[in-house]
Amino acid sequence: MWNTLALGVLRHRRSLVGLLLLLTVFFGWQARKAEITYELANVVSPTDPDLVYFQQFRRTFGEDGNVLVLGLADRRAYQLPGFTALRDLSRDLGRVAGVARVLALPTLPLLTKDSARAQLRPARCLRHFPLRRPASTACWRGCEPSPSTRGRC
């Protein structure tokens, strides 16, 4: 059987090479219509509460495949031990391979107005890590949630 197949391929090699070339051109032509989607596969029920929450989050904040946002809702972050733990966590996350930047309360830049150039300039809010309660610094008071945003995110 294999002998017959091998002899058939050798006898019709020019026809088979031509057929392969035609198929390559045809599929190459069809490949220009191929599209890639970055949408989630429908493996979870559309009524799943976590998926419903995620879809609402995407409608509210949009999406960017290159950004990971972690939210923190803990008043202990406004006290020195929690603030220190948050600084250590942001430092550790910044050391992970592939992470370009970590923006957290301890590393938050302070935007100052540059009237001469008509732009905002970032500056380090905390030049030295506070040794007492962080809320005593002017930068920290600007980081506390305002009554209008508290409980929204």
Are 85 and 138 within one domain? yes
Query: Does residue 120 form part of some domain?
Result: yes
pLDDT, one tens digit per residue, over 46-83 is 888 988 888 888 888 777 667 777 777 777 877 778 88
Query: Does residue 94 form part of some domain?
Result: yes
Query: Does residue 10 form part of some domain?
Result: yes
Q: Is the pLDDT of residue 153 over 50?
A: no
Q: Which has more confidence, 13 or 104?
A: 13
Query: Does residue 90 form part of some domain?
Result: yes
Are 81 and 137 within one domain? yes
- The reported pLDDT for the residue numbered 69 is 74
Are 136 and 74 within one domain? yes
- The reported pLDDT for the residue numbered 140 is 56
Are 25 and 72 within one domain? no
Task: Please state, rounded to an integer, the average pLDDT across all residues of the chain.
Answer: 79
User: What are the DSSP calls for 28-88, one per residue?
Assistant: HHHHTT-----SPPS-S-TT-HHHHHHHHHHHHH---TT--------GGGGSHHHHHHHHH
Q: Look up the pTM and report it.
A: 0.45
Q: Is the pLDDT of residue 101 over 50?
A: yes
Average the pLDDT over 90-106 and give the result: 85
Query: Does residue 101 form part of some domain?
Result: yes
- The reported pLDDT for the residue numbered 132 is 62
**Number of domains the chain contains:** 2
Average the pLDDT over 94-121 and give the result: 82
Query: Does residue 60 form part of some domain?
Result: no
Domain that holds residue 113: 68-143
Query: Does residue 55 form part of some domain?
Result: no
Are 20 and 74 within one domain? no
- The reported pLDDT for the residue numbered 141 is 57
Kind and range of the H or E element at 10? helix 2-11
Q: Is the pLDDT of residue 136 over 70?
A: no
Tokens linked to 10: 């050798």
pLDDT, one tens digit per residue, over 14-42 is 999 999 999 999 999 999 998 887 776 77
Is residue 121 a contact partner of residue 114, using CB atoms and an 8 Å limit?
Answer: yes
Coil, strand or helix: which one is 142?
Answer: helix
